[in-house]
Amino acid sequence: MTQKRTIEEKIAELQKKQAQLKAQEKALKAKQSAEKRKKDTHRKILIGGAVESVLGFPLDEDAIPRLISFLKDQEKRGYFFSSALGYSHETDNTGKVIYKKKNPLL
């Protein structure tokens, strides 16, 4: 004859399953975060490589702030950089610039 489980045993079993599910969720979120970081790093490497290929020489670390300053100046003067990349811009009521990808069908 089989013995019935008590309510406390059922609760303990459910809590154990819940802990296992939380651990699985945590592991999946960590994997997702690692994949996102990997893709972001790859994207940044491609951008850096593109800049260096256009310049024809490798940038030193001390040149990076000047490059950033130059790109910011281009945006301040007329959004030349973002426009060249196919983005339009709007300003919200706080003065923040919001970039939107231009519709390629227009």
Mind giving me the DSSP string for the chain? -PPPPPHHHHHHHHHHHHHHHHHHHHHHHHHHHHHHHHHHHHHHHHHHHHHHHHHTSPPPGGGHHHHHHHHHHHHHHH-HHHHHTTEEEEE-TTS-EEEEEPPTT-
pLDDT of 28: 98
Give the domain ranges of the chain: 7-101
pLDDT digit string, tens, across residues 14-58: 999 999 999 999 999 999 999 999 999 999 999 999 999 999 999
pLDDT of 105: 60
What does pTM read for this prediction? Answer: 0.69
Please indicate whether residue 95 or residue 3 has the higher confidence score (pLDDT). Answer: 95
pLDDT of 3: 74
